[in-house]
């Protein structure tokens, strides 16, 4: 029993180290990409977030919350992106005092396209990718419950989700069963489950 427990702990420690290393690789890749574009990694993340949420009122406050960075830092980065013509500020139709950001054609050119992660993932068989996705979603949900991450609009935490988090997934709002690849981790329709 004690041996099993020790093996469990060793496995967890190994996985935690691997996840950390993958995070470091992602940061290094983003840094390389940003340097090549003359931008900061945060600016690349801002362009990516605005691009992933078309038609939504994305402003400085939302970016700060989603990217977990302070408002003044986001505000400085956004100002530079606007100055370089990569983002446009438009009046927010939902709030007359605020602005929503839009990506320009020039900004779109700097969006990450695929990259080494996508290529590496393509080498895994489908069932392994699906298992990985489900495991990572459970991990994120658990970090959310413990308060270690903040915003996660994923199916697991949504009032509309029905399923077992394993092989059966259904969205009541969309009125359809979801394949693993269709599960969302940043869904605009997400409603936090009570």
Does position 190 interact with ligand SF4 (CB under 6 A)? The reply is yes
| Cβ closest to ligand SF4, residue 22 vs residue 193 | 193
Comparing CB distances to ligand SF4, the nearer of 84 and 160 is 160
> Contact between 161 and ligand SF4 (CB under 6 A)?
yes
Up-side HSE of residue 130: CA atoms within 13 Å toward CB?
Answer: 13
Does 165 help bind ligand SF4 (rule: CB under 6 A)? no
Put the strands of the sheet holding 169-171 in their side by side order. 161-163, 169-171, 176-177
Cβ distance 163 to 179 under 8 Å?
A: no
- Name the one range near ligand SF4 by CB under 6 A: 25-33, 94-102, 144-152, 155-163: 155-163
* Least Cβ distance, residue 80 to ligand SF4 (angstroms): 33
CA gap 121, 92 in Å, rounded: 38
Comparison of 103 and 171: residue with beta carbon closer to ligand SF4: 171
Alpha helix locations (H) across the chain?
2-37, 41-52, 60-67, 71-83, 105-108, 116-121, 126-145
How far apart are CB 150 and ligand SF4 at their closest, in Å? 16
Question: Which of 40, 152 has the CB closer to ligand SF4?
Answer: 152
CA distances for 78 relative to 53, 58, 75, 121, 185, angstroms: 16, 11, 5, 32, 24
Does 174 engage in binding with ligand SF4 (CB under 6 A)? yes
- Of the pair 110, 161, the CB lying nearest ligand SF4 is at 161
Instruction: Pick one of 158, 164, 166, 177: the residue that binds ligand SF4 (CB under 6 A).
Output: 158
Contact 87, 80 (CB under 8 A): no
Under rule CB under 6 A, residue 176 binds ligand SF4: no
Which residues are CB-neighbours of 69 under 8 A, at least 6 positions away?
Answer: 42, 63
Q: Does 160 bind ligand SF4 (CB under 6 A)?
A: yes
Q: Where is 170: in which H helix or E strand?
A: strand 169-171
Stretch that binds ligand SF4, among 15-23, 52-60, 100-108, 158-166 (CB under 6 A): 158-166
Summarize as ranges the residues that interact with ligand SF4 (CB under 6 A): 155, 158, 160-161, 171, 173-174, 184, 187, 189-190
């Amino acid at each position: 029993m004690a041996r099993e427990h020790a093996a469990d702990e060793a496995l967890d420690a190994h996985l935690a180290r691997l996840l950390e290393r993958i995070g470091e690789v992602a940061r290094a890749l983003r840094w390389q990409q940003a340097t090549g574009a003359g931008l900061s990694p945060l600016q690349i993340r801002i362009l990516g977030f605005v691009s992933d949420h078309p038609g939504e009122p994305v402003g400085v406050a939302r970016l700060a919350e989603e990217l977990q960075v302070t408002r003044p830092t986001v505000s400085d980065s956004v100002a530079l992106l606007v100055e370089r013509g990569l983002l446009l500020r438009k009046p927010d139709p939902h709030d007359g005092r605020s602005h929503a950001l839009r990506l320009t054609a020039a900004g779109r050119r700097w969006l990450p396209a695929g990259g080494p992660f996508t290529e590496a993932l393509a080498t895994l068989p489908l069932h392994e990718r699906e298992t990985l996705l489900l495991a990572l979603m459970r991990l994120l949900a658990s970090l959310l419950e413990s308060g270690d991450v903040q915003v996660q609009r994923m199916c697991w935490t949504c009032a509309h989700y029905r399923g077992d988090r394993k092989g059966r997934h259904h969205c009541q709002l969309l009125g359809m069963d979801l394949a693993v690849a269709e599960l969302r981790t940043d869904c605009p329709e997400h409603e936090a489950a009570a």
